[in-house]
C-alpha cells in the first residue's frame, strides 16, 4: 500500500514548538504519534489536554515485527476524512514520522507535517534522549503511565 512513496513531497518539517503552535491555532489539526505501544507506555506521550484534545496513537510499524502497519492509511482516513486536515506526525526522533507523512501525502492529503525532532530528539553526549531536542526537551506537555 505504501510502496513507492520515497521522496514524496509532504508539507514539511516543523519543530515541536511549531507543532504546538499549529495545534493551538488550528482546531482541526491532529497530532499522530506513530511510535509503538511500548514507547507510549514507557517513554510517554504528548499531552494535549490543555487544548481540549488527545494525541492520536497509531503505530506506523507494528511491534515487535516492525513491519509497516497495513491499516495505517485507513485509520488516518477514518480519523481525518478531509484531505486538507493538518496532520502532524511524531515519532522518537523524526524518521518514522517522516515516512508516515510521505505515505499519507501519497494518499492525497496536502497538509502532512513531520515533527522533525520527534518526542525524544537526538541523544546527548551521555547518549540520553529527551534532553537536548524533541517534544520533551522543548518543555511541552506530556504524560507517562
Q: What is the pLDDT of residues 71-82, one digit of tens each?
A: 999 999 999 999
Task: Tell me the mean pLDDT in the region 27-33.
Answer: 98
* Whole-number Cα distances in Å, 37 to 43, 45, 61, 62, 134: 10, 10, 10, 9, 19
- Predicted confidence at residue 3, as pLDDT, reads 45
**60 inside domain:** yes
Query: Which range marks the domain in which residue 41 is found?
Result: 26-138
**10 inside domain:** no
> Domain holding 44: CATH number?
3.40.250.10
**145 inside domain:** no
Task: Tell me the mean pLDDT in the region 32-59.
Answer: 97
> Over 50: is that where the pLDDT of 1 sits?
no
Tell me the β-bridge partners of 114. Answer: 13, 89
3-state helix vs strand vs coil in the chain, percent to 5:
30, 15, 55
**1 inside domain:** no
> Over 80: is that where the pLDDT of 28 sits?
yes
- Give residues with Cβ within 8 angstroms of 130, minimum separation 6: 43, 119, 120, 121, 136, 137
**44 inside domain:** yes
Number of compact structural domains in the chain? 1
- Predicted confidence at residue 129, as pLDDT, reads 85
**143 inside domain:** no
**3 inside domain:** no
Query: Which one, of 39, 93, 33, lies nearest residue 64 by Cα?
Result: 39
**7 inside domain:** no
**Residue 110 three-state SS:** coil
pTM of this prediction? 0.92
Amino acid at each position: 500500500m505504501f510502496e513507492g512513496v520515497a521522496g514524496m513531497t509532504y508539507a514539511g518539517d516543523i519543530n515541536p514548538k511549531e507543532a504546538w503552535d499549529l495545534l493551538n491555532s488550528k482546531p482541526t489539526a491532529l497530532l499522530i504519534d506513530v511510535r509503538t505501544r511500548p514507547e507510549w507506555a514507557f517513554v510517554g506521550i504528548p499531552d494535549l489536554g490543555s487544548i481540549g484534545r488527545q494525541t492520536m496513537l497509531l503505530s506506523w510499524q507494528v511491534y515487535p515485527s516492525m513491519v509497516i502497519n497495513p491499516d495505517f492509511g485507513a485509520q488516518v482516513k477514518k480519523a481525518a476524512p478531509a484531505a486538507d486536515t493538518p496532520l502532524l506526525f511524531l515519532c522518537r526522533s523524526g524518521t518514522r514520522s517522516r515516512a508516515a507523512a510521505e505515505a499519507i501525502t501519497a494518499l492525497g492529503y496536502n497538509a502532512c507535517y513531520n515533527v522533525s525532532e520527534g518526542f525524544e530528539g537526538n541523544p546527548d553526549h551521555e547518549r540520553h534522549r529527551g534532553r537536548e531536542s524533541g517534544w520533551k526537551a522543548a518543555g511541552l506537555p506530556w504524560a507517562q503511565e
